[in-house]
Structure 1
Amino acid sequence: MLVETLQTNRLTVIEKDRKPSSRTSFAGILREVKDIGGNRPSKQAAAWIDDRITEMRQDLVPLDKPVTLDNGRVVRVIGRPVVGPGDALHAVHLWVGVGADTAPTDKPSAAIGFTWNSDRRLVDLTETAAGAFGRPEWATAGRGLTAPEALRFVRVSDGLSLIRTILTREPGKSWVGLATVFTPLGQSAAQLVVGSDESPDGRAVWRGVLHDVSATTTPPAQSLESSALAALRHVSQSHIVLLDIGKMRLIDWITDPIPQIQWKGMVDNRDTPHPDDVQRIFDTARQVFGGHTPRGEVKGIRLRRYGGGWTVVDASGGVLPTAGEGPLLALVQFDVTGMSNEPDPVPPTDNGHPGLE
């Protein structure tokens, strides 16, 4: 089984016998191991394993130990950590068998840990995780992945639900769903699990696990909402993107992206538009963010190109409907109108506009 450790003082099973599980009770799963001897021995085994996982959160040392229960049964426990950025324990591949000489018959499924920075709107990966996608430079570049980059390789059936969840900063939130993962070896089915926890600065830190379930599960179908957005790729001649209005960060390209643009977060934290255009954009965004208008338009925006120069675009967009206090998202359409070779006045060390939140 695979046990997630994304939130402090909570363990749940997210995979059993290579099948996805929606954060099932850890103790409840052990009760299904009938050879342990019933409810009370199962609780005793669960408490012992819970203590070992607490230790593993600190030392990340793999576990392979027998424990003798009060009923005389010997239970062998094998645990292999799934480690995320910053040497944090994100999950444990756990095998439990009755008898000191019992052993697993197959290898655990592939799983990677990652973090989502809800302020910077970036995904951080370990070198192991980046290598699984055939892109080890993602981990060594030290910049993290922008949301559009990550969502090119991991597509979930209800993308809008995931995006609205992880854009919040509230601890104790979670999201679980099936995903299609694209790697150099092809595509496969996986389950994506994310959870938010308290951080020292009082803001939520999002940790996640992506684990392969292709042995038992087919890649998910898209939701009606996501399918409708995806259809735009085939009928629009413009470039359309899902935008987080509060931070003015791109979240997911609905069509193919504008080529050769150095978007914020991909190389450095400079705003992508020319500084003379940034204020015009935020003046319009502020009207939308404040609820004064559901749509906006800004013409003649210069977007920084890789290697120098600017691509000039006209942009227009509208707010997506949302329930309650959810984050404001907009669909923005870019139409390329020209090019410019004006000098770039912004140094690479600039961190850009802080956003409206």
Structure 2
Amino acid sequence: MDKAGRATGTPPDAHDGWIVVETLAEPIDGGALGTVVAKDGRAKEWTALQRSVPNKRVADAARAVVASVVETGVETSVSVPGMRVPLRAVPVAGPSRAVHGVLLYVGDDADASPPDVTGWDWTSADRLFEYTTEMDRMVPRESGRGPSATAFEFFDRNEDAESAMYLMVALFDADPGTRWDGAITLRTSRGPRPLRIALRTVHDEASRDDRITHGLSIALRDDEFVSPGPSFEAFALRSLTRDSPTAIALIDAERVRLTRWLTEPVPDILWKGQVDQRDTPHPEDIARIVSAYRHMHEWVDRKVEIPGVRLRRVDGGWTVVDLRATRIPHERFLMVEFQPVGFSSEPDPVPVTDTGYPGRGPRPSDRKR
């Protein structure tokens, strides 16, 4: 039993003894590689490694083993020279196999099972989370689905809309060189599961917007549960037009991106990011949508209607919907109602290789006061 268990009479937790070191980006100006973002199943505020281990000699050995694991991607066990203190370091790989983090155990119980920690990437241009198969331990994938998810699919797994929204805003706004941390609660088959999220955004020439965000999802103790915040669903229900087959989504007005479905989505639509990167609306409707959302973002209008928008169907052709957008007070998001009104069989003028509207609106520093 660990020291905390002896002092309190509580049984040890599976997270006890484990230190999570993020290695999401190269150190700046020769600084130390990695910072501690969780310890013993609890969040830590980007803490230097030497502040999370017993003494300087152990810290020096820990930094060396972390650097080795990041370089090789191989789990390593060593002893601190002259102290016989075991160190175990387990890599956490991202989708490209680069090491996003290292799980570090200091002490005699280093054969304990490590906590669930997974690495992932987010590309804002494609609006996609790319996972590793390790994510299946937290959220099992549907049969036939690859290790990726769109923003609104991510929301389907979240217990608390408010905390998940903070994460999405951070991802949409992230610039190279920035970092963010927070907590969310995943909805799983065994109940709500609290996660610590740490992310860094770096320059990436291979990305269409020259940036990529690397992230870690870290399972925390059950008592780190995030209490549900204000309900966007309640706002959605108040916004519904009576007796209409309306679907409602949350749209980021700055990036003009569908962020989350608050009801069941419009059926049989080929949403951007699920198969390819084409915009879902017909290209002739994109300009109308972007213009209306921009006006609402600048508070020129609080509500707007956009009739006759064509949405690409999975089996070809278009579902025609009338859109009704409402600006959420004190938020950057729009509540958009999709009311189906018909179908169109006109040809699709967009090649499957098209990447659509870039979604690069004003940066946060450019917002109107």
Fold in common (TM above 0.5) = yes
The equivalent of 1:207 in structure 2 is 214
The equivalent of 2:307 in structure 1 is 299
Q: Tell me the alpha carbon deviations over residues 117-156 of structure 1, each in whole angstroms, 9 at most, x when there is no partner.
A: 123221111233257532274436xxx4210011212344
| Match runs of 1:1-357 below 5 Å | 1=18, 2-9=20-27, 10-31=33-54, 42-68=55-81, 72-97=82-107, 102-104=108-110, 106-130=112-136, 132-135=138-141, 137-139=144-146, 144-156=148-160, 157-183=162-188, 185-201=189-205, 203-214=210-221, 216-217=222-223, 219-224=225-230, 227=231, 229-232=232-235, 236=240, 238-289=246-297, 292-320=300-328, 328-357=332-361
Unaligned regions of 5+ residues in structure 1, if any? 32-41
Q: Tell me the alpha carbon deviations over residues 202-226 of structure 1, each in whole angstroms, 9 at most, x when there is no partner.
A: 9543111112225x426422123xx
C-alpha distance in 2 between matches for 1:63 and 1:233? 51
Offset at 1:158?
A: 2.0
| RMSD over equivalenced CA pairs, Å | 2.7
Offset at 1:200?
A: 4.3
Letter in 2 for 1:208: G
* Closer, same or farther: CA 104–175 of 1 in aligned 2, 3 Å: same
Alignment identity in percent? Answer: 30
C-alpha distance in 1 between matches for 2:360 and 2:177? 24
Offset at 1:264?
A: 0.9
Greater shift in the superposed pair: 57-66 or 281-290: 281-290
Offset at 1:291?
A: 5.5
Q: TM-score, normalised by structure 1?
A: 0.81
Tell me, yes or no, if the aligned pair for 1:130 and 1:138 is still in contact at 8 Å.
Answer: no
Tell me, yes or no, if the aligned pair for 1:19 and 1:217 is still in contact at 8 Å.
Answer: no
Q: TM-score, normalised by structure 2?
A: 0.79
C-alpha distance in 1 between matches for 2:36 and 2:170? 21
C-alpha distance in 1 between matches for 2:75 and 2:88? 8
Tell me, yes or no, if the aligned pair for 2:95 and 2:121 is still in contact at 8 Å.
Answer: yes
Unaligned regions of 5+ residues in structure 2, if any? 1-17, 28-32, 362-369
Tell me, yes or no, if the aligned pair for 2:327 and 2:335 is still in contact at 8 Å.
Answer: yes
C-alpha distance in 1 between matches for 2:67 and 2:298? 45
Q: Secondary structure in 1 aligned to 2:280? A: coil
